[in-house]
């Protein structure tokens, strides 16, 4: 079994090559050998939170392989009214995207909203800052949020972020991983939705060395990564020089623990 915990449905950045509906995602998952994909609505992240969450709820009813995250945004506090979607059988948690939504996840002004969200869901997938000029969701800020809510599991996206500058534009945020690992939070996981794992050798080996297989989960950011890239990502993890049991934890074991009965036996 392979479970991808980080994907999207809809049109990302209005780019036709980053657009996929439920049927297209199901087909892509068949092509790359992934059994389940947890998605948030691109429309909710970029345009209309309510409309995107409602459209996702309808799409999940027809999909064979998709599970869903409700998007919540403290800039639009009434988005809290979408949390009842979590009662539906194919929703698994909440997606936060501070960089796109324009708020600092550590700011006091949004703490009440975010605490209410964490108290209402068993799982939060949070974007971790990886774009120029933003730091609204640095890895340690998201981990601090998780520390306040030990009963809620948190997934930090993009291998705890990507550092960017004008000379060497993309490289792994090993410092962020190290800080998260040093906090030793049992409810914090990091996903592999990080395009550097396709480009530079050794990225996943470093991540496993720093964080350990018990707190890494598989993610691709599909459809930003298509079936070919997803197959390659799976091969990278399957080829890691670690015990097979640890590879299985990354590809599906940890995700099954997080999703529980949402994944059929």
CATH class given for the domain over 3-262: alpha beta
Domain boundaries, the chain: 3-262
So what's the pLDDT on residue 264? Answer: 78
Provide mean pLDDT across the span 2-9.
97
If one compares 101 and 131, the residue with the highest pLDDT of the two is 101
User: How many contiguous H segments (helices) and E segments (strands) does the chain have?
Assistant: 12, 11
Alpha-carbon span 158 to 128, nearest angstrom: 7
Considering the entire predicted model, what is its pTM? 0.94
Provide mean pLDDT across the span 196-205.
76
Alpha-carbon span 26 to 227, nearest angstrom: 11
- Residue 190: is its pLDDT beyond 60? yes
28-77 pLDDT per residue, tens: 999 999 999 999 999 999 999 999 999 999 999 999 999 999 999 999 99
* Residue 118, phi then psi, degrees to nearest 5: -60, -35
Scanning the structure block, which residue is given the tokens 């979607």? 85
Average pLDDT, the chain: 91
């Amino acid at each position: 079994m392979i479970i991808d915990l980080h994907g999207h449905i809809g049109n990302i950045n209005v780019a036709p090559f980053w657009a996929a509906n439920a049927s297209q995602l199901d087909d892509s998952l068949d092509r790359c050998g992934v059994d389940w994909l947890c998605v948030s609505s691109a429309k909710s992240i970029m345009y209309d939170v309510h409309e995107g969450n409602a459209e996702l709820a309808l799409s999940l009813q027809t999909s064979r392989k998709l599970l869903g995250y409700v998007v919540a945004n403290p800039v639009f506090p009434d988005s809290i009214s979408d949390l009842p979607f979590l009662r539906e059988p194919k929703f698994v948690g909440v997606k936060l995207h501070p960089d796109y939504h324009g708020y600092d996840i550590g700011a006091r002004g949004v703490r009440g909203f975010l605490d209410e969200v964490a108290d209402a869901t068993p799982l939060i997938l949070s974007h971790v800052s990886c774009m120029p000029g933003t730091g609204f969701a640095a890895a340690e800020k998201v981990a601090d949020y998780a520390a306040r809510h030990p009963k809620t599991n948190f997934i930090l996206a993009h291998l705890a972020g990507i550092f960017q500058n004008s000379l060497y534009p993309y490289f792994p945020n090993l410092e962020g991983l190290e800080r998260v690992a040093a906090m030793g939070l049992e409810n914090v996981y990091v996903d592999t939705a990080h395009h550097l794992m396709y480009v530079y050798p050794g990225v996943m080996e470093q991540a496993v060395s720093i964080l350990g297989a018990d707190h890494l989960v598989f993610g691709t950011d599909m459809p930003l990564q298509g079936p070919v890239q997803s197959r390659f990502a799976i091969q990278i993890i399957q080829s890691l020089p670690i015990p097979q049991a640890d590879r299985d934890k990354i590809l599906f074991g940890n995700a099954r623990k997080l999703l529980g009965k949402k994944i059929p036996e």
